[in-house]
Amino acid sequence: MRRIFVTGIGTEVGKTVIAAILTEALQADYWKPVQSGAIEDSDTETVRALIKNKKSFFHPETYRLPLPLSPHAAAEAAGITIIPENIQLPQTRNHLIIEGAGGLFVPLNEKDLMVDLLPSFGCEVVLVSRNYLGSINHTLLTWEALKNRNLKILGLIFNGEHNPATENFILNYTRLPKLLSVLPEITLTPEIISGYAVQLRDRLENL
């Protein structure tokens, strides 16, 4: 069974949408270990609403923090400390999609970062990039951080407006496979997610 960690080059790059596509593509379970903010309309509930298959199971977050802040700040505001040892992989015999909070170097507490969880997860990483001025730099920095920590990168997914010059440079420089391009959608529906999932499923079968 595959364990895939979804990370982005920053905030608001579309990790949750990509996690939904991966979940649908593999009919996988979904888990977001740390949720900051959006307690009533969490990322878990967003993914649940976007997929069509009945096999996926949605595991509860280890930490649900009310304020939409960095996890360490949201936890402090809630009067708690995030303890990485408490963040244990859920038990499942299915594929598992794990969605991070923010980027790799988002702090969980005063000394631990999101990326510090990955070795214990034993997962592959899907890197989500979004085209904007500066995205090449942010993508390469994230790629290099993963590489320097010997974490396996499954590939890149580009989310948003297509920019061939940017995307081609990133792909040529990193030599990572491009798994998918997700274009802007006025409204996201399970049908749209399912269409992307079919494309991604075919790609994953060859990796």
What SS3 state is found at 111?
coil
Q: Specify whether 15 is catalytic.
A: no
Alpha helices in the chain (DSSP H): 15-26, 43-50, 71-77, 118-121, 135-148, 164-174, 190-204
User: Out of 15, 32, 52, 54, which one is annotated catalytic?
Assistant: 32
Q: How many Å apart are CA 15 and CA 54, to the nearest integer?
A: 22
- CA separation (Å) from 92 to 31, 58, 112? 11, 11, 26
- C-beta separation of 69 from 97 below 8 A: no
- CA separation (Å) from 30 to 23, 94, 137, 184? 7, 10, 29, 23
Q: CB under 8 Å to 195, separation ≥6 — which residues?
A: none
- Angle, in degrees to the nearest 10, between helices 43-50 and 15-26: 50
Residue 113, phi-psi category: left (phi > 0), alpha (psi -120 to 50), beta (remainder)? beta
Could you list the active site residues?
A: 32
